[in-house]
Amino acid sequence: MKQLLAISVSTILCATAHTTAYGQTSDVLLIPDSGPLLGRVWAMSPVDGSLVNNQFILPDARLTQPIQIVDSGRRTLLVTDETARAVYEYAPNGSYVGTLAAGLEGAYGICMKDGAAFVTSGFSNNLGGKIYRIALDGSAPTVFSDWAGIGDPRGIAPYGAGFLVGNSTDDDLEVVTATGSVVPVPFFDSDGIASLNFPQQIHDIGGGNYMVVGFSAPWGIYFFDASAINYASYRAPEVFLSPRGAYILDNGEILYTGGTRIDRFSTKTYLNTNIVNQLGSSFRWVTRYTPPAPCVGDLNGDGSVNASDLATVLGAWGSADPIADLDDDGTVAASDLAIVLGAWGACAG
């Protein structure tokens, strides 16, 4: 009886799991690496921070100083690049799709809200800070929030109807309203000396709480509640060096990035563990990514069913190639071609 059960379960698994050419099906943490030659994006485990793929996005000449990568909500990823002053779009398999915005005064932090990207800008060229709103429909970016006389916006996270934004000029955490104005009284007024100094990545960690990364001494990972009470701070020695990005791992430890290193530390034992120390790398912000469910007929995972997928089926014609054999009947044939043609175009959702 046990044996029969095992056979029937494995039969079901075979029947439902079509092999795909592109790999990432479970959550990963995506971390841009603005190395000295070509920027790329690493993927790490959200459970313990271990390495999944150090070339989730292959080294790419476009990426001169990539900072943050987020899910666009339309089966693509958006990457900000500080020195290229652009926002690039990539497919779930890490291939380049297009340039969403270029010629910005800068492009640093990014978060999605109401279907648009909000990008902080301004540090690289001293023209004064701005937050751009960039729609995904190809229309020109607009200045959502002008920080002239206020400072330089860095990390950005949704907050109420607007945003919580780090100000690297006065080290405060500013509230930006839904219409882009900066509230005169900050959420947290930091002295930048004994407390948060040079805020970088900001995470909404739920329950009204925020985790903010402070890059300059006393560098560390700072936690604030809804009343802006700084209820926890982790600094040296458990935070080994100036951090830029951070993430609370599923195992409860805190992963953080800084320079050539990706580390994690325990908030219980204060033990720091190095995960990666890669000569030449410069690791940036950390964002969890849930890959979209594979799209039927999209054999290469670039987000659409098109000529490249058709070519894969035709190239494997008559074979048992498990990727091109879409209906899993053992042969690449007309029925598989029909699936590709029937799904032609951009993947939905």
From the list 75-83, 86-94, 307-315, 339-347, the region that binds Ca ion by CB under 5 A is 307-315
CB of 197 to Ca ion, least distance (A): 10
Size of site (CB under 5 A) for Ca ion:
12
Q: Could you tell me which stretch among 26-34, 174-182, 234-242, 291-299 binds Ca ion (CB under 5 A)?
A: 291-299
71: contact with Ca ion by CB under 5 A: no
Q: Which stretch binds Ca ion (CB under 5 A): 108-116, 138-146, 182-190, 216-224?
A: 182-190
Q: Contact between 300 and Ca ion (CB under 5 A)?
A: yes
Separation between Cα atoms, residue 243 and residue 46, nearest integer Å: 18
309-348 residues near Ca ion, rule: CB under 5 A = 309, 325, 327, 329, 336
- How far is it, in rounded angstroms, from Cα 1 to Cα 6? 9
Dist CA 238 CA 220 (whole Å): 9
Q: What angle do CA 254, 36, 242 make, to 5 degrees?
A: 30
d(CA 114, CA 124): 28
Site for Ca ion contains 152 (CB under 5 A): no
Binding-site member from 113, 170, 177, 278 for Ca ion (CB under 5 A) = 170
Report the residue number, 190 or 257, with the smaller CB distance to Ca ion.
190
CB of 105 to Ca ion, least distance (A): 23
CA 56 to chain CA centroid, nearest Å: 11
**DSSP-derived pairing of the beta strands 142-146 and 130-134:** antiparallel
Cβ contacts of residue 132 below 8 Å, gap of 6+?
101, 104, 107, 117, 118, 119, 121, 141, 142, 143, 144
Of the pair 38, 338, the CB lying nearest Ca ion is at 338
Which residue among 42, 298, 312, 321 contacts Ca ion (CB under 5 A)? 298
Of 293, 289, 287, which is closest to residue 22 (Cα–Cα)? 293
- Least distance (Å) between residue 210 CB and Ca ion: 17
User: Of 202, 177, 195, 175, nearest to 186 (Cα)?
Assistant: 175
- 253/302 with CB nearer Ca ion: 302
Which residues of this chain interact with Ca ion, rule CB under 5 A? Answer: 170-172, 190, 298, 300, 302, 309, 325, 327, 329, 336
